[in-house]
Structure 1
Amino acid sequence: MSASKPVLLILNVLSEAHRAQLAASYEVIYAPDSQQAAQAIAQDGGRIHVVLTIGAIGLSAAQMDAMPQLRMVGALGAGYENIDLAHAQSRGIAVSNGAGTNDSCVADHAFGLVIAAVRGIVHLDKLTRQGTWRNDIPLPPNVSGKRLGILGMGTIGQKIARRAQAFDMPIGYHNRKPKDGVGYSYFASVLELAQWADVLVVATPGGAATKHLVNAQVLQALGPQGYVVNIARGSVIDTAALAQALRTGKLAGAGLDVYESEPLPPAQLLELENVVLTPHVAGWSPEAVQATVDLFLNNAQRHFSGQPLVTPV
């Protein structure tokens, strides 16, 4: 590598201010869509040392191979499901992620969706604007005291559980195996967790292993008074099954920050009043993005000076 700045390819949308922060240490090539990315790699692939991406965009083996000098890939958020890790490893390319930088933000948003879904806040807002008064509508149920099932008891799952404790919610969870040091009720399957829970929050990684883990059977187990919230990856919930359950009253409501059709909205759910939708922003706030950019810079600086990564994948 030359004495000049290393070349950094950015594949995700990033603010001008954060690009300027990165440009202090790197020669930045900004290519935040697939067409620009292909063009940048074709033109400058031989010069690129570092790639910054996100889990949803990832980095393929073919893209890596078009960058012979590539030494590190950083995922801005916690997710890295579309980065070809095996190929990176075979090439000796280090991979880092933004673990820990946005956990609180995601947990805040998840609990906001729990409250919004159970209390029907978005629909109530619409009715109020239309002049409807409380005497003419069914009363929304409590959030407090509901049984909260968490699918995926990682750091984010644990932070969601802490927020739920303040609402006096009994907490259960399902992981591949029980989590050391976690005192909540463990369920051996998603189905058993759904049968117990009033509200199921999905906080598990995406990818092939968890695709449609929340299917028609799981939604039916939650039941007509049940709710599902997803701040993980859209692929974990079977959207068609969810739409059917919500339309037929087999499920009371849902709050989704992620969906299978991203970045397009989930067409099957748009007309349903018992769904709250947000555009995959649970992990994004000025504070969280700043923290993850800082962490990426720290990881990259350490890597190029021969030190271990703070958050290796």
Structure 2
Amino acid sequence: MPDKVLIYSRLPKSLTQRFAGRFDLLDSGGKPAHEVFPADEVAQIRALITAGGTPLGAADMDRLPALGAIVCYGTGYDGVDLKAAAARNIAVGHSPGANAAAVADVAVMLMLATTRRLTVADAYVRDGGWASAKPSPLMKPPPSLAGCKVGVYGMGEIGRKIASRVAAFETEVGYFNRTRYDDLPYQYFPSLDALAEWCTVLMIAVRASAETTHVVNADLLKKLGTDGHIVNISRGSVIDERALVAALKEGTVAGAGLDVFETEPHAPDELTSLPNVVLTPHIGGNTRESHVAMQACVVANLTAFFGGEMMPYQVK
């Protein structure tokens, strides 16, 4: 009999079909398992699949007495209470680097879209402004990317791929990370403040945690400056959205490209009304190849767990 696996988060069935042939899936549709399935069935659940950003705390784990493995679909695991999992001896796995290339591509896309004002230019053509030679202050020539200083905050798999991509645009690249890497050809900065003061485009690629919550605040945005742009493909919690809205309205920064938000799937109305921000619906890792790679990691983690082995992609 296949092992039972709870689909804890609300995930499209198209993403979980690959698991159905290997495991007995219990899909709660994003609802607590005890509200959907009989108590005796819930008591047998030893593993679950969750989206990394979905809150999963001690109380949620305690409702699953046999739980031994939490497998995150994707790279992130910020929604999981790691201390609570460790206290229960529950292993936590994820898919490190599986979608890094796709996320880095979206970071570059957003950088180009915000620095070259893609959405403004698109609207200028569509509404007839270009054809009628209508003056538009938003269409004034922006600075070139060649020679631009791009700062990468977080130099993991995604950060490295972002850095290599933006370097191809003849930019200068710098980074801030908890660890300094001698193998990287980019300038290292001792703090995020120092990086923000130096760069024109700030790329957020750091892992979400209590330490990084709202680390991009009003003071940091002032350091980025009036010609500065910020791109976030990490987690919405890293940026203080209220401070960002104010900075965009007041011209403290020039623009932003955002794939993630503090409360998803909703972007604040104030952000959606601004012409100097480009918004996408958390699509960074959403390519066919990325999903195949992430699903392979999930299968490998679950197979190892049910086989009594350590998960190959276990969070350390």
Q: Name the TM-score, length of structure 2 as normaliser.
A: 0.93
Distance, in Å, in 2 between the alignment partners of 1:130 and 1:102 is 36
> d(CA) in 1 for partners of 2:198 and 2:181?
19
**Residue 78 of structure 1: which of 75, 92, 96 is its match?**
75
Where structure 2 has 5 or more consecutive residues not aligned to the other structure, the ranges are none
> Is 1:111 matched with 2:108?
yes
SS state at 1:208 partner: coil
Which residue is 1:129 aligned to?
126
Report how far residue 14 of structure 1 moved: 3.2
Tell me if the contact between 1:29 and 1:40 (Cα under 8 Å) persists in the aligned partners.
no
Q: 1:1-313 alignment to 2 at 5 Å?
A: 4-33=1-30, 35=31, 37-40=33-36, 43=39, 44-133=41-130, 136=135, 137-313=139-315
After TM superposition, give the deviation of residue 47 of structure 1 in Å.
Answer: 1.6
CA positional deviation for 1:36: 5.2
Residues 96 and 299 of structure 1 are in contact (CA less than 8 Å); yes or no, is this contact kept in structure 2? yes
Q: Runs of 5+ in structure 1 lacking a partner?
A: none
Q: Which amino acid aligns with 1:211?
A: T
Q: Between Structure 1 and Structure 2, how many residues are aligned?
A: 309
The structural deviation recorded for 1:38 is 5.0
Per-residue CA shift, 1:172-212, capped at 9, x if unaligned?
A: 11112313422311111111101100000001111211011
CA distance in 1, matches of 2:260, 2:309: 35
Query: Aligned equivalents of 2:254 and 2:176: distance in 1?
Result: 22
1:126 aligned partner, one-letter code: A
> What is the TM-score when the length of structure 1 is the normalising length?
0.94
User: What amino acid does structure 2 have at the position aligned with 1:93?
Assistant: I
Give the SS at the match of 2:43.
helix
How much has 1:271 moved relative to structure 2? 1.1
Quote the sequence identity (%): 39
SS in 1 for 2:48: strand
For residues 182 and 299 of structure 2, what CA distance do their matches in structure 1 show?
32
Change in CA separation of 1:57 and 1:37 when aligned onto 2, cut-off 3 Å: farther
Q: Deviations over 1:66-125 (max 9, x none)?
A: 112212110111111121212222222211001111000100000100000100001110
